[in-house]
Structure 1
Amino acid sequence: MNNLERIEDYFSGRLPAEERARFELSLQTDPDLTEAVAFYLAAQQAAQREAQSRRKAELDQLRTGKPVVRQISAGAVIALAASIVLVLGLGAYWLFQRQSPSAVMLANQYIQENYAQLSTTMDGRADSLQIGISFYNAGEFSKAEAIFTALVQRQPTNDRFLQYAGLAELQTGQYDQAIDHFHRLSELNDLFFNPGLFLEAITRLKRNQHNDQNTAQTLLKTVVERNLEGKAQAQALLEAF
């Protein structure tokens, strides 16, 4: 069985328990396998987004009667988008720094002080979660994100998986995905402590796209008013605007 077959069987739940354990152990020692897993998950997500976009275009055509406009290749779109984001993103970042440096500084400081490391369990098991945590704590955030995202796919309402996936994405600058995971976390109603709203606000400050500052302020005010996780830090950030 090649790596691709093993990866597909692992994430589809077809591997026997013993083989699953060997696969998870290999993730800790085989960098090629880890990179293959990250690529596999990225390809899956890209395919899903492409299918959704294509379906939306087809529905728009049915609704309006207008022909679907042909798109340039995905590779060209990605390359062009990356260039635009780099140019505009840097400009927006420095503009935001001049407008509100204290809020950004406090947000970065909070992330560094509270989420540079994730807590581990004491039982020493090498399950997927612990492997992801090990990658995260070693600063290999992309590898950690791939594993945490896979765990979310298997258990979409697991608060720990949602939070860790969002944090890994925040560390790698995948702000859209992080916001999605933190928002889904904030909608879980059965948690005693839920940092979802606060972490979404932090991520929006980091992303700083259109209306992100206003949305972040609204989220931070909600955290304070509802006495949610991160209230003290939310108050400090609101004072910095």
Structure 2
Amino acid sequence: MNDLERIDDYFSGRLPVEERVRFESSLETDSALAEAVAFYLTARQAAQNEARADRKARFETLRKESGPVRQLPARTWLAIAASAMLVLGLGGYWLFQRQTPSAAALADQYIQQNFSQLSTHMNGQPDSLQTGIARYNEGKLQEAGAIFNALLQRNPADDHAQKLAGLVALRTGQYNQAIDHFHRLGERTDLFANPGRFLEALTRLKRGQPDDRRQAETLFKTVIEQNLEGKAEAEVLIDKL
């Protein structure tokens, strides 16, 4: 079995328990395998994105084949156009007033100051987690991400691996994946300290898509009101938005 087949079997849950344990142990010492896993995960995500694009293209083809849209009276079109212009005008004004270029820069500054390096003193954690943290601190983010995602595959309830996998995604610009990790973490109610909502808010500020800022502000307010992890930082950041 070559490495690609072994990796695919691992993430598809087809490896026997003993093989899975050997695979995870190899990830800690075999940098070539870690790089192969990182490539596999990236390629799988790209394939998923391509599949979505294909579905969209097929939808467009079906829409064109279905014939022209029913014509509406000219007076109706004028009313729709006028309403649209009003909404766009008000929306543009609101965005101009509320959105500032400093939001993403503010998030980026916080990320650089607080997540460029991770603490290596996490007592009682598995050796593979420490290996992943070491790779992260060395700047080998793809290798670190492969290790953290492998840990999550083995134990989806591992909140440390969930947070760290999210941080790798955030640092590498995979904001959708980071938000997914942090959102899952933030919904946990069994943790003594949970930074999920704060980190999701931070990622949304960095991503900067429509409505991200509003959702980030809502998450920051939740962190503050519920006294969650990151409260002090949320108070500072929301005051600057």
Query: TM over 0.5: same fold?
Result: yes
Spell out the pairing of 1:74-85 with structure 2 (5 A cutoff): none
In structure 2, the partner of 1:220 is 220
In structure 2, the partner of 1:75 is none
Q: Taking structure 1 as reference, are residues 30 and 158 closer, same or farther at Cα in structure 2, changes over 3 Å only?
A: closer
What SS is found at the alignment partner of 1:201?
A: helix
Residue 156 (structure 2) pairs with residue 145 (structure 1)? no
Query: What is the Cα deviation at residue 108 of structure 1?
Result: 3.3
What SS is found at the alignment partner of 1:184?
A: helix
Q: Look up the equivalent residue of 2:179 and give its one-letter code.
A: I
Residue 210 (structure 2) pairs with residue 207 (structure 1)? no
Counterparts of 1:55 and 1:119, CA distance in 2 = 44
In structure 1, the partner of 2:171 is 171
Query: What is the Cα deviation at residue 123 of structure 1?
Result: 7.0
Q: Taking structure 1 as reference, are residues 122 and 227 closer, same or farther at Cα in structure 2, changes over 3 Å only?
A: closer
Question: Does 228-237 or 131-140 show the bigger shift?
Answer: 131-140
Counterparts of 2:150 and 2:126, CA distance in 1 = 18
TM-score, normalisation: structure 2: 0.70
Counterparts of 1:68 and 1:165, CA distance in 2 = 44
Count residues in correspondence.
207
Query: What is the Cα deviation at residue 120 of structure 1?
Result: 4.8
Runs of 4 or more consecutive aligned structure 1 residues displaced over 6 Å after TM superposition: 55-58
Counterparts of 1:13 and 1:114, CA distance in 2 = 38
Task: Please tell me the root mean square deviation across aligned C-alpha atoms, in Å.
Answer: 3.3
Report which of the two structures shows the higher radius of gyration computed on alpha carbons.
Answer: 2
In structure 2, the partner of 1:14 is 15
Q: Taking structure 1 as reference, are residues 54 and 147 closer, same or farther at Cα in structure 2, changes over 3 Å only?
A: farther
Counterparts of 1:55 and 1:217, CA distance in 2 = 34
Spell out the pairing of 1:82-121 with structure 2 (5 A cutoff): 99=100, 101=102, 104=104, 106-115=106-115, 116-121=117-122
Paired residues of 2:105 and 2:206 also in contact (CA < 8 A): no
Counterparts of 1:106 and 1:216, CA distance in 2 = 13
Residue 55 (structure 2) pairs with residue 32 (structure 1)? no
What SS is found at the alignment partner of 1:182?
A: helix
Counterparts of 2:20 and 2:184, CA distance in 1 = 28
Counterparts of 2:156 and 2:24, CA distance in 1 = 20
What SS is found at the alignment partner of 2:228?
A: coil
CA shift digits 1:59-83 (9 cap, x unpaired)? x79xxx75799xxxxxxxxxxxxxx
Q: Taking structure 1 as reference, are residues 68 and 27 closer, same or farther at Cα in structure 2, changes over 3 Å only?
A: farther
Counterparts of 2:56 and 2:106, CA distance in 1 = 40
Residue 180 (structure 2) pairs with residue 180 (structure 1)? yes
Question: Does 173-182 or 34-43 show the bigger shift?
Answer: 34-43
Counterparts of 1:178 and 1:227, CA distance in 2 = 23
Query: What is the Cα deviation at residue 198 of structure 1?
Result: 0.6
Counterparts of 1:16 and 1:155, CA distance in 2 = 13
Q: Look up the equivalent residue of 2:41 and give its one-letter code.
A: L
CA shift digits 1:1-51 (9 cap, x unpaired)? 32223323444362553x556544543554432221111122233334445
Q: Look up the equivalent residue of 1:117 and give its one-letter code.
A: L
Overall identity of the aligned pairs, in %: 54
Q: Taking structure 1 as reference, are residues 14 and 239 closer, same or farther at Cα in structure 2, changes over 3 Å only?
A: same
What SS is found at the alignment partner of 1:237?
A: helix
What SS is found at the alignment partner of 2:118?
A: coil
TM-score, normalisation: structure 1: 0.70
What SS is found at the alignment partner of 1:139?
A: coil
What SS is found at the alignment partner of 2:147?
A: helix
Q: Look up the equivalent residue of 2:195 and give its one-letter code.
A: P
In structure 1, the partner of 2:155 is 155
Paired residues of 2:186 and 2:194 also in contact (CA < 8 A): yes
Unaligned runs of 5+ in 1: 70-94
Q: Taking structure 1 as reference, are residues 123 and 158 closer, same or farther at Cα in structure 2, changes over 3 Å only?
A: closer
